[in-house]
């Protein structure tokens, strides 16, 4: 499958930012700026508290709603957690799973990522599965080993059909919030490696259909260059998604 057959997916991960009123204001401004975009899947991922308000703000628009995390169980005595049925009920189409910050600060593992992915899929949510190496791992030549570990661990036990309901987001941890960005060639190298892993695990046909996002300090200035690479199919955007204008410019990378 040619890259042109894969619809680019641009997602804004707001992280621990935006009150409800701020979230609605941002979404309302964004909605107007991207209203004419029809060839990109646009996603916003506000904090849990703003999901319902943002859902209402993007009603009848071309913007999809994502959560930033999910718990692996549907219900029970798990204080502070939010389940896949709850996210589906509030209007989410997507959920980010295994973000590097979840791995770094909240002890997320491949096993917990895999459990969450399966829980999300069971309730019709599309997981955005994050993978990526830290600076010391890249500098010691471990990038491919780390990526293979994250990809195979996160997708373990998924059927081809389940995999095709997922998105993989490659986030070089050393390029998140640091101002550093992987060069387009560096991003392409890892994206191609990921697609190769999935070709071996599933098939070339399946791997060619999967969207692989890049998620390391994407900005309006570098989006089009990154997206020009043959295996870079979208972006998971952090800081630049907190302003409607900058995120809209990334969404319109090809214009």
The residues annotated with a catalytic role in the active site are 99, 171
Retrieve residue 50's tokens.
């703003």
**Measured between alpha carbons, how far is residue 161 from residues 1, 170, 209, 240 in Å?**
16, 21, 11, 32
Residue 55 phi/psi, 5-degree rounding, is -55, -45
Retrieve residue 209's tokens.
């259909």
What DSSP state is assigned to residue 45? E
Please state, in angstroms and rounded to a whole number, the distance separating the CA atoms of residues 35 and 116: 32
Helices 220-227 & 184-201 angle (0-180, nearest 10): 50
Give the contacts of 37 (CB within 8 A, at least 6 positions apart). Answer: 62, 251, 252
């Amino acid at each position: 499958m040619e890259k042109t057959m894969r619809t680019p997916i641009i997602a804004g991960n707001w992280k621990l930012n935006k009150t409800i009123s701020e979230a609605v204001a941002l979404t309302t401004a964004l909605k107007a700026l991207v209203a004419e975009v029809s060839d990109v899947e646009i996603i916003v991922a506000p904090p849990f508290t703003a999901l319902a308000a943002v859902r209402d703000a993007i009603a009848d628009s071309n913007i999809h709603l994502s959560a930033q995390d999910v718990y692996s169980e549907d219900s029970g005595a798990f204080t502070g957690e939010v389940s896949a049925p709850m996210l589906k009920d509030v209007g989410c189409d997507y959920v980010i799973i295994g973000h590097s910050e979840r791995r770094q600060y909240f002890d997320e593992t491949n096993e917990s990522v895999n459990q969450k992915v399966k829980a999300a899929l069971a309730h019709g949510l599309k997981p955005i599965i994050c993978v990526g190496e830290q600076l010391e791992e890249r500098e010691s030549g471990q990038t491919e080993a780390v990526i293979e570990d994250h990809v195979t661990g996160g997708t373990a036990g998924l059927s081809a059909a389940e995999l095709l309901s997922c998105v993989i987001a490659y986030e070089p941890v050393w390029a998140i919030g640091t101002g550093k960005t992987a060069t387009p060639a560096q991003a392409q190298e890892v994206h191609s490696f990921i697609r190769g892993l999935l070709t071996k695990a599933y098939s070339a046909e399946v791997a060619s259909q999967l969207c692989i996002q890049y998620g390391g300090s994407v900005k309006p200035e570098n989006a089009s260059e990154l997206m020009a690479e043959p295996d870079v199919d979208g972006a998971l955007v952090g800081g630049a998604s907190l302003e409607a204008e900058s995120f809209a410019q990334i969404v319109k990378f090809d214009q």
